[in-house]
Amino acid sequence: MKTELLAPAGSFHALTAAVQSGADAVYLGGDLFSARQGAANFTIEEMKRAVDYCHMYGVKVYAAVNTLIKEKELEQLVSYIEEITKIDVDAVIVQDMGAVQLFRQISPDMPLHASTQMTVTTADGVRALEKLGFERVVLARELSERAVAQICRETKAEIEVFCHGALCMCYSGQCLMSSIIGGRSGNRGRCAQPCRLPYTLLENGEPVANGHLLSTKDLSLINKLDSLKNIGVSSLKIEGRLKKPEYVAAVVGIYRKYLDSGENVREADKQELLSAFNRSGLTEGYFSSQTGKMMMSLKTPSNVADELFSADVQRRAREDADVRKINISVSFTLHSDDVCRVTASDGVHTVCTHGTQKSESAINRPLDAERVRTQLLKTGGTPFTVCDTSIIIDDGITVPVSEINSVRRAAADALITARQTMPERRICDYSKQLIHKTYDEDIALTVQAETAEQLRAISKFSVDTLYVPASLYSETLQMFPDTNVVLRLSELDDGNIISGVPAVMAQCLSQTRSYADRRVYGGFRLNIYNSEAARFYENLVSVTLSPELNLREIQELTENADITAETIVYGRLPLMMMKNCPIKASCGKCQKKTQKYSLRDRRGEIFPLICGDECISILLNSKPIFMADKVEDLRRAKINRIRLVFTVENFSECGKIMNVYERAFSGEAVQNPFSESGFTRGHYYRGVL
């Protein structure tokens, strides 16, 4: 199996640069639902033109429809799916489970690729998507060579990994930083990159490190191509839909060269990659376990490359570049009293064309094979190079040279059309499921606790459901014999199944599948944004809606799906989940057992940093959400269960919050205990772009 080289096409110009430089496939975004809203992106007409251009060269086109989608956008998505199906893209890249459902219904033949935004880190994760019909899964970038190899061995779907370009500090699809800080959601292609800003690391409140503590170098796996091929990776993705055509040409050209040759990478080519773009160097990152300080660009978050591109790169990056050629064979026959006939073949497609003028007896010089060959080789202006000709001419006859040229041109056109013609895909009707739902005004209070101290504070109150981590599970069962205790599974699927637990909170698709024989509660990391996604998870006891939705969007969703909707109404939201512990990366050592850490931003906001097992760190929001004084608004949005999430709160803070919410739910008017700047309403009254 050939390993595919997949290039970014943020614009038509970048697309031609990618194709001319040897990409096997490109990915691009439409003007709707694409996770790079900053790129030029393509209208449907431009996308069709791009598809035709690429297919002429035998290059595949994957359309990114990979944002999370709001309820009110579903209708628009339905027509978008129909349009995108008609223009022959080779696959679509999706993140939203609602989009997956709509594609399956409306465009059942369309191959689906799971976006890296789906945060797939295990073979279980890949298999869960295989069962939904996914052809390919783009893995999370946080995986080691060993982990990728294991996934390739144990699964059938095509596996795609990132080989070059920007890394995110947070697991893709799990970042709320830009969304919470400025309302620009990374899940909607509008990340404002707050991770590239300077921060101060505080240890027990004292500064211990300064710099761009969340800013990673760009990834480069140019020295790992052999390994990537051997472990069975199907596709190597170059990041960079916001980068310029020269960048695309340079990077694609070098990867093409070494993917084909298998040689060791020359120093000059390593330099060319650095010269195209780098933030204090390039890194092999998680793939080669080059984590810690090594993969960070702590001093500067910006590109420091000189961007001096070679003449060769510039030639391929020209808008009218025409350097990529496809070998074809052409045969020509001319019999007496017949028109000339040309057959052209690229090895897969064969086309036959013929002229209009019959051959005549030659008065002076009969047509000879050499003269015909000269004309057949003139393929300028087409993507073809003739590498083989066969010519048969009866004796003593001729046709005009113009006739040969016009048949040759017709053959080239026919071959291009044949290459661009794709099997037609079905487009099926979509009928929105109508539901008749009665809303039970009785809202259940659920609580998520992290520490034994918090549990003690909570024990004085009555709660419907208690979500606790595995480490607190048995203790909680003893302390709360009459409460519904749910084990909160790890943030990322680790492939292990915990036995003897009747109820779990799942944080990803594969966990909902692995625990399907228990009672499963869906966590907010399922990224449920619309009723189609919610309906996909309708077998769960409850689903936590994305904290990026505002109250109106929540209501639009809950009115369309027969689910038990849960939202987080108190707590510090986890803004980032990081494999590369920023404490270790900036101090060299993470003393999470004894010290408390946080990051301070330029405005003085302090974000607690919690480092868990194996140093997977969670950056919490600087302020907790507080909604106890807004219970009526929550009810109007038809939320069934509301959750208080305790993270860094101590015994008395936890007790105070429990008390306020309990009183609020018994109908008392409560005072907000926080100062003006001490809390947030999250997205309930604003939402995201």
User: In this chain, which of 615, 619, 637, 645 binds Zn ion, going by CB under 5 A?
Assistant: 615
Quick one: which segment of 248-256, 364-372, 593-601, 615-623 binds Zn ion (CB under 5 A)? 615-623
395: Cβ contacts below 8 Å, ≥ 6 apart: 366
Q: Is the dihedral of CA 387, 392, 395, 396 positive or negative?
A: negative
**Which of residues 115 and 586 has its CB atom nearest to Zn ion in the complex?**
586
Pairing between strand 25-29 and 4-8?
parallel
As measured in angstroms, the least distance from the Cβ of 581 to Zn ion is 3
SS3 string of 325-353? CEEEEEEEEECCCCEEEEEEECCCCEEEE
**Which of residues 123 and 583 has its CB atom nearest to Zn ion in the complex?**
583
- Could you say whether residue 489 binds Zn ion (CB under 5 A)? no
**Which of residues 599 and 611 has its CB atom nearest to Zn ion in the complex?**
611
Quick one: which segment of 358-366, 486-494, 614-622, 625-633 binds Zn ion (CB under 5 A)? 614-622
Alpha-carbon span 598 to 583, nearest angstrom: 9
**Which of residues 35 and 618 has its CB atom nearest to Zn ion in the complex?**
618
* Contact between residue 644 and residue 447 where contact means Cβ atoms under 8 Å apart: yes
As measured in angstroms, the least distance from the Cβ of 615 to Zn ion is 3
As measured in angstroms, the least distance from the Cβ of 617 to Zn ion is 5
Which contiguous run of DSSP H or E holds residue 486?
A: strand 484-488
**Which of residues 174 and 546 has its CB atom nearest to Zn ion in the complex?**
174
Pick from 93, 173, 174: which is nearest to 134 by CA? 93
Q: Per CB under 5 A, which of residues 562..581 are in contact with Zn ion?
A: 581
**Which of residues 589 and 686 has its CB atom nearest to Zn ion in the complex?**
589
Quick one: which segment of 126-134, 495-503, 608-616, 649-657 binds Zn ion (CB under 5 A)? 608-616
Residue whose structure tokens are 């699927």: 493
* Contact between residue 60 and residue 81 where contact means Cβ atoms under 8 Å apart: no
As measured in angstroms, the least distance from the Cβ of 161 to Zn ion is 25
**Which of residues 383 and 574 has its CB atom nearest to Zn ion in the complex?**
574
As measured in angstroms, the least distance from the Cβ of 578 to Zn ion is 9
**Which of residues 95 and 598 has its CB atom nearest to Zn ion in the complex?**
598
b/e per residue 143-156 (b: at least 16 CB within 10 A): bebebbbbbbeebe
4 DSSP β-pair partners: 235
- Could you say whether residue 214 binds Zn ion (CB under 5 A)? no
- Could you say whether residue 611 binds Zn ion (CB under 5 A)? yes
3-state helix, strand, coil in the chain (%, to 5): 35, 25, 45
Burial level of 457, CB count in 10 A (0-12/13-18/19+)? Answer: buried
- Could you say whether residue 590 binds Zn ion (CB under 5 A)? yes
503 DSSP β-pair partners: 519
Residue whose structure tokens are 């300080």: 293
Cα torsion 322, 328, 329, 332 to 10°: value is -50
**Which of residues 397 and 615 has its CB atom nearest to Zn ion in the complex?**
615
As measured in angstroms, the least distance from the Cβ of 582 to Zn ion is 8
As measured in angstroms, the least distance from the Cβ of 601 to Zn ion is 20
**Which of residues 70 and 579 has its CB atom nearest to Zn ion in the complex?**
579
Quick one: which segment of 62-70, 360-368, 604-612, 664-672 binds Zn ion (CB under 5 A)? 604-612
As measured in angstroms, the least distance from the Cβ of 586 to Zn ion is 11
Quick one: which segment of 109-117, 261-269, 349-357, 612-620 binds Zn ion (CB under 5 A)? 612-620
**Which of residues 569 and 583 has its CB atom nearest to Zn ion in the complex?**
583
- Could you say whether residue 619 binds Zn ion (CB under 5 A)? no
Ramachandran area for residue 165 (φ above 0: left; ψ -120 to 50: alpha; else beta)? left
574: Cβ contacts below 8 Å, ≥ 6 apart: 176, 618, 619, 620, 621, 647
As measured in angstroms, the least distance from the Cβ of 618 to Zn ion is 10
Site string for Zn ion, 527-566 (x = CB under 5 A): ----------------------------------------
Binding residues for Zn ion, rule CB under 5 A, total 5
As measured in angstroms, the least distance from the Cβ of 606 to Zn ion is 18
439 phi/psi in degrees, rounded to 5: -90, 125
Binding site for Zn ion (CB under 5 A): 581, 583, 590, 611, 615
